[in-house]
A and B are shown apart, each in its own frame.
Chain A
Amino acid sequence: MVRPRSPLPSLVFAFLFLGQFPALAAPPNEVIQDFPVGQPAKTSWKVHFAHGPHKALYITGAWFKRAANEPWMQVIYEAGLVELFVPYHTGSPRYYDLTGFAFDLVPATQADAGPRGTILDAVVVKEVRDRGIMWKDDTSGRRGEELVLWATLDAANYNYVIQYGFQDDGTITVRLGATAQNLPGRQLEAHMHNGLWRLDIDLNGFQHNSVMLMKHVEPPSGQSATDSALPFNNGKEGFADWIPSEFTELCVMHTQKKNGQGKNVSYDLMPMKHGVARHFEDFTRHDFWMTRYRSAERFYTQLPAYIANQESSQDTDVVIWCPTSMHHLPRSEDGRFVNGTWDGVALLMWSGFDLRPRDLFDTTPLHP
């Protein structure tokens, strides 16, 4: 048996000869991105990702640096889809597109990646993009940048694009898109695509996180408005609903870490909503769910059971669950029958949410 050589002598030699330790290879599932691209780093993301059957592409860790000389701060322990629930409007069929079968991720092509993207692990596309204007102040301004990781789930006739964006200002964008071919035999029947997400946000570590429900109240009888941030479900496991007039958001707050202005470091969960889907299934009746972290709790359909004891979930390790829904009302742009065969694909329809920092920085990042 040949024993593998210890790397220690090589490392010592490299240090003595080169004056530095050689960089150790990053894990294959790790991406580190400094911003601004091609300039001295001001902010940075370190992202770990994975993919697998019944999980598609998911994040297994994300850390942010708000300044080059600061240590990494954890934002995410694990985040991803845990189900894709697709009921058709006649009542049946009702599909579970993520867990229904061992669907693979589609091999990525250079056409997918575009002129500046790269393909990681054969199925994940990495892009570092200009994301448009980030701020303007009269004639001053700056364009923002983001790291994007995306992959495509092949769910038989449908494809789902799962995309995670990590912006230079610390924002994380989470997107789900549905595309490819309408259901054979039911191409013209409306249906709802519900992406069901599990977000284990560990802001600055797994301890000392609390979730607040943020709402805006402006009665039309007066001219003033009030905004509040109260403990989610009175500080216990439970659910809440998105109310459009209240601009409902969640705020995940670290109860101890503060920024330079003395405010608790937080992240806001800001949904992108075209509407709220409600179905017969009880796990679809609410827009936000929160549980304490329990490793065995992985199934969105079991949420009503998970919250039944309403355990206290303030200043602890919390998990947020939420849907992103797309109402698909078939249209000509999806395709048509040609000689009895369906011809055409549904253009991408997107849903998602943002996780945006609140009081992470001391002032405006990347300004002036």
Chain B
Amino acid sequence: MSFKLTSNESTSAKAIAERALTEKKLTSAYFVQAEVSRDKMAEQEGRAERKVVVTHYQIEGDLTILTTVNLAKNIAESVETIPHLPTPLSEEEFKMAREMGLADSKVKEALAKDIERVKVEALILRTVAKDDPIFGHRVVRLLFRIDRNYLNEPVVMVDLTTKKVIIENARR
């Protein structure tokens, strides 16, 4: 069994999942990933079908949507929503966070001449503490890298839920 999806499989699974999401009116979710799903009983009995779990994320409500797609039958078998589940950052969200961060005037000033050559990486922060201001928010820490060196400053957080850029002081 191959655990790598072909690009056709990935495209098909995504399309099937997004049709299912449209039916459920979950249309503002970002595509995160598609990965092969194993069915142990089916493997044991020699009847395993090609199934894929497609993950989407919706910023409103901090909602993760998992769609199980059966590629052999071309159908979505189930759609499950889980709030407040640690979920990878989608490509679209990463681009939004990067653009917001690099457009901030204080970030521009801090990066100065390096702004054209920095490579931007991202980490997601989250909390389960309901009284924490970022609970349920999609917050991205941007890291700025030049070659192998990470810049110590600026320390930039982008809150995609409130669409705000937060800059902290580096600590020594």
Chain A positions within 8 Å of B, measured between CB atoms, are 29, 50, 52-55, 60, 77-78, 83, 92-97, 99-102, 155-157, 181, 184-189, 206, 280-282, 293, 295-296, 299, 301-302, 317, 337, 340-342
Contacts and interface: CB of A to CB of B under 8 A. Distances in A.
A101 B88 contact: yes
B89 A101 contact: yes
B127 A185 contact: no
A100 B88 contact: yes
Interface in B80-120: 80, 82, 85-89, 91, 94
Contacts of B170: 184-186
Contact of B88 (A53, A206, A296, A299): A53
A15 B100 CA distance: 66
A60 B2 CA distance: 10
13 contacts: A53-B33, A53-B88, A77-B40, A93-B123, A95-B141, A96-B126, A97-B123, A99-B87, A100-B89, A101-B88, A102-B91, A189-B171, A299-B82
Contacts of A101: 88-89, 94, 121-124
Interface of B: 1, 3-4, 33, 35, 37-40, 44, 68, 80, 82, 85-89, 91, 94, 121-129, 132, 134, 141, 143-144, 149-153, 155, 168, 170-172
Given A52-B3, A184-B152, A96 B86 contact: yes
B85 A302 contact: yes
Nearest to A95: B123
Q: Which of B1, B3, B39, B85 has the most CB of A within 10 A?
A: B3
Nearest to A305: B82
Contact of A299 (B68, B85, B129): B85
Contacts of A29: 3
A5 to B, nearest CB: 22
A52 B150 CA distance: 25
A96 B140 CA distance: 11
A127 B68 CA distance: 37
B40 A188 contact: no
Given A54-B33, A60-B3, A184-B150, A156 B143 contact: yes
Given A92-B132, A102-B88, A302-B85, 8 more contacts: A50-B4, A55-B35, A60-B1, A93-B125, A94-B125, A95-B124, A100-B124, A206-B40
A296 B141 CA distance: 30
B172 A188 contact: yes
B152 A342 contact: yes
Contacts of A301: 85-86
B29 to A, nearest CB: 17
A157 B143 contact: yes
Contacts of A342: 149-150, 152
Q: 8 smallest A-B Cβ distances: which pairs?
A: A185-B155, A185-B170, A50-B3, A100-B124, A184-B150, A96-B86, A93-B125, A156-B121
Contacts of A53: 33, 35, 88
Contacts of A100: 86, 88-89, 122-124
Nearest to A281: B128
A93 B141 contact: yes
Contacts of B152: 184-185, 187, 337, 340-342
Nearest to A202: B40
A280 B132 CA distance: 12
A302 B3 CA distance: 24
Nearest to A102: B88
Contacts of B144: 184
Nearest to A279: B128
Contacts of B88: 53-54, 99-102
Q: Which of B123, B128, B129, B151 has the most CB of A within 10 A?
A: B123
